[in-house]
Amino acid sequence: MSGNLLLRLVEDFKKIIHRIKKYSTTVKRTFAVGIIEMLPSICGGSIVKKYLLLWNGAKLGKNIIIDKRVLIRNPENLTIGDNVVISHGSVISAGGGIKIGNDVLIGYYAKVISANHNIPDKNEIIRLSGHIYKKITINNDVWIGTSSIILPGVIIGKGAVVAAGAVVTKDVPSYVYVGGVPARVIKSRK
Angle among Cα 53, 80, 71 to the nearest 5 degrees reads: 50
Whether the CB-CB separation of 95 and 131 falls below 8 Å is answered with yes
Query: Measured between alpha carbons, how far is 91 from 111 in angstroms, rounded to an integer?
Result: 5
Indicate which residue of 18, 88, 117, 131 is catalytic.
117
- CA dihedral of 77, 78, 81, 83, whole degrees rounded to 10: -170
Beta carbons within 8 Å of 128's beta carbon, 6+ residues apart: none
User: Rounded distance, CA 168 to CA 177, Å?
Assistant: 12
88 annotated active-site: no
Phi-psi region at 62: left, alpha or beta (left = phi > 0; alpha = psi -120 to 50): beta
Catalytic residue annotation: 117
